[in-house]
Structure 1
């Protein structure tokens, strides 16, 4: 049970300058992940419908479709296509599907939804769009789907590429 002295002590600690935990984040919320090659990518959380971890046997292969597609998945009653995100972006390294769970990011616009299978979800972070730079060292296959990149500071600087979900959803690359 709280007493009035407990509440007063909490009020004093907030007034004393310990406001780091209450700072308003700058920028927009993004989902950070990697593809099989190890490249770090981000998607704005705004266009993401859901992030799920599913057993690979829940993805049903569909014959005579694009090799970029792993198959279809019933996601809460809606059947969606699931793609190997790395291969979709032109990466030669296929996603390892021989594991207990696959991480899938479901992106959507209007009535169109696609699942992007990724190597690993790294988390969510607030990133400032003002700090994005034009992307460098992109393959011709990847370039149409990248909006830019951030150079993140740390022990080892890391390049984080920002994906364009609308370009992915509207791509003729799906071949379906």
Structure 2
């Protein structure tokens, strides 16, 4: 009741629902976790992501005479977004399978440059502590310049290595001109 002085003064009620009593403040920063065709998992900070799309392959228009890394363009509310196979860009040996009902595209932007990074699957959103980031030790040479580091942790009784992608390095790379 609004007129209740305990409510107005913020007095705690021991009869609160358990889910409200057990809320904790997450540690670290929120990241989008995703996987390449090879199964390798990477993460991007949520604050660096404009949007995540799931277009069908026929919504992406192939363009002639461009880098083979680029799948084509996609219209997002009147804005043209180039879509690239992130795995191929990073040197993943398996190309993205575009012969399926939908693709997963992560739109990232820096200044006036926007790019859609097509990935095999979106894993989940996860809070990750930047203080626990380690130097990349297992990344292939072609991928290393685009990584800020990696987290190694246990999840569901398995050791997981999760690499942090540097979106600015990806957007400004000379590989797009090849």
Q: TM-score, normalised by structure 2?
A: 0.89
Secondary structure, in 3 states, of the residue corresponding to 1:12?
coil
- Structure 1 runs not aligned, ≥5 long: none
Q: CA deviation at 1:59?
A: 0.5
Q: CA deviation at 1:11?
A: 2.8
CA RMSD of aligned residues (A): 2.4
Aligned match of 2:95 = 94
Q: 1:19 to 1:38 in 2, by over 3 A?
A: same
Aligned match of 1:172 = 174
Structural mapping, 1:59-98, within 5 Å: 59-98=60-99
Q: CA deviation at 1:85?
A: 0.6
Q: CA deviation at 1:17?
A: 9.9
Q: CA offsets per residue over residues 60-93 of structure 1, 9 Å max, x none?
A: 1111111111011111211011000100101110
Secondary structure, in 3 states, of the residue corresponding to 2:54?
strand
- Number of equivalent positions: 171
Q: CA offsets per residue over residues 108-143 of structure 1, 9 Å max, x none?
A: 111110000000001101100000000012222101
1:135 to 2:136 alignment:
yes
Q: TM-score, normalised by structure 1?
A: 0.89
